[in-house]
Structure 1
Amino acid sequence: MIEISLDFKNVDQALGRLAGFSRSKRPLMRSIAGIMADAVEENFAQEGRPKWLGLAPATRKRRGDGKILQDKGRLAASIVSRADGESAAVGTNVRYAAIHQFGGEITRAAHSGWVRLRTDARGNLIRQGTKGRAARLAVFAKDSHKRVRTVRYTSSEGKTKIPARPFLALTQVDADNIERTVSEYLANLLG
């Protein structure tokens, strides 16, 4: 009689580790979330990968050499990552994030209101400067200013096109980093 005997001890151990994998994916998901968060941070630093469409001339003139999507830094600072045993995610709760991510058109409704403008002792409006556009612009008054003139303004409806500037995006290098992280995790798990 011929007898064949197989030793499944190593296979059983590997299967046991794989069974443990279903319970312990949280460290892997945290690593993936970290890679994604780094990718988003790099998108802001490089102003897109590939490069985002530049600022409109009027915006560039008003802001100077500021970075795209980083006028005040609120959007970049709002990026958070989250990971649990089943998923990894990166996102933001900033209300205007979607229009920058996907692009689109913003319609501003016509509106009116009141503004307080500073005046001198004779009641004349104080101007922002003496030449050019500044000579036509009045200075807004704070609540603490005593000499003011309250003026009603009306603004017509306006539309602004916002180009897509996907900041929540991964490059092929980022995807390769995630794939390598998963492969290393599984290799360590299987021993």
Structure 2
Amino acid sequence: MTSQSFEISYDDARIRASLQQLMALGRDQSKVMQDIANKLEQSTRQRFISQTSPDGKKWLPSLRAKLTGKRTLILDRHLLDSVAHDSGRNFAQVSVNRVYAAIHQFGGVIKAKNGKGLRFRLANGDFVIRKSVTIPARPYMGISTQDENWILKRIERAINEAADAR
């Protein structure tokens, strides 16, 4: 299977400062990072249900979703089901393993490489051929304000636990 990757980095001074406080207390951050990664995976999955980006903006519905009244990006659940998390001593991450993940996250134009064009079936069953298709961005990965607040509270709890253990 062909794979493709993209990275969204989130560097927040408040989160970084809180993590440095935790490190200064000599605590292993693995459990905190595991909790953060798990929370971010849950938030990412919830965005497919709520159809909203991390900044709270509603996704533009796909033509299929408009015609059928169903949700965008979850027809077969492959993208949603590929959302996973990982963590370690000093990292928390969420990933997806679908080659088309980036085009849905960032949007873009898909152009035909050869032949007459891109051939695909519309929601009404008709087939069409197009030289290019524009996919609007529907960000599902990222850290929302609610996520950031949760992360800060989780780190604060770990700092308090570490201080109490001294």
Runs of 4+ in 1 over 4 A off after TM superposition: none
- The question of whether the paired residues in 1 share the 8 Å contact of 2:33 and 2:91 is answered with yes
**Larger RCO of the pair (alpha carbons < 8 Å, separation 6+):** 2
Q: Secondary structure at the match of 1:111?
A: coil
Unaligned runs of 5+ in 1: 1-14, 113-132, 138-154
The size of the alignment, in residue pairs, is: 131
Q: CA deviation digits over 1:70-124, x for unaligned, max 9?
A: 1110000000000010100001110000000001101123437xxxxxxxxxxxx
Give me the identity figure in percent.
Answer: 24
- The question of whether the paired residues in 2 share the 8 Å contact of 1:100 and 1:164 is answered with yes
Q: In the TM superposition, what is the alpha-carbon distance from 1:157 to its structure 2 partner?
A: 5.7
Unaligned runs of 5+ in 2: 1-21, 117-123
Matches within 5 A, 1:6-155: 18-19=25-26, 21=27, 24-48=28-52, 49-56=56-63, 60-61=66-67, 64-111=68-115
- Normalising to structure 2: TM-score of the pair? 0.71
CA distance in 2, matches of 1:109, 1:156: 13
CA distance in 2, matches of 1:37, 1:73: 15
CA distance in 1, matches of 2:129, 2:60: 28
CA distance in 1, matches of 2:147, 2:97: 23
Q: Which residue of 2 aligns with 1:149?
A: none
Q: Secondary structure at the match of 1:32?
A: helix
- Normalising to structure 1: TM-score of the pair? 0.62
Q: Secondary structure at the match of 2:86?
A: strand
Matched to 2:42, the amino acid is D
Q: Secondary structure at the match of 1:67?
A: coil
| CA RMSD of superposed structures (Å) | 2.5
